Amino acid sequence: MKSDLQGGAVLIVEDAETCASTLEIIFSSIGGLKILIADSAERAWELLESRHEDIRALVTDLHMPGMDGFELIDRVRTNQLHAGMPIVVITGSTDPHVSDRLRQRGVNAVFAKPYSPALVREKLEQLLGNDTQIE
């Protein structure tokens, strides 16, 4: 299922350059999708505020210096402009309570590192095509 994504962007929030580059490669084959990368949650929030009309989805890590992924997700979900935006979390966390905390925040999908690039790409396409919460 391919949707018309012309002019839309996904924002990747990842402080590890290798992980950010991997995600960029995974998503680059989705037609018409621009890819923005922020190396911190603070920078991601700045991009969301300044380019809110362009960004259609957020793919974020949780553990970053400064503002963490949980706080970023909370800001997105409580902001009228972003509240319905699909959010995908990719995390190396081994805390068994993380998935519950993320579901309570309305996160659409969670992938544990190491993850399947094909499944992450498929989920993002699904979320962008349907604009609904899946998981």
CB atoms within 10 A of CB 17: 10
pLDDT in tens, 57-96: 999 999 988 999 999 999 999 999 999 999 999 998 888 8
Fold adopted by 8-130: Rossmann fold (3.40.50)
Tokens of 132: 């609904």
How far apart, in whole angstroms, are the C-alpha atoms of residue 52 and residue 68? 20
Q: In what order do the strands lie in the sheet with 55-60?
A: 33-38, 8-13, 55-60, 87-91, 109-112
List residues bridging with 34 in a β-sheet: 9
pLDDT in tens, 86-116: 999 999 888 889 989 999 999 999 999 899 9
User: φ and ψ at 128, to 5 degrees?
Assistant: -70, -30
Residue of 57, 60, 64 whose CA lies nearest to 13: 60
User: Domain map of the chain by residue range?
Assistant: 8-130
* Whole-prediction pTM: 0.88
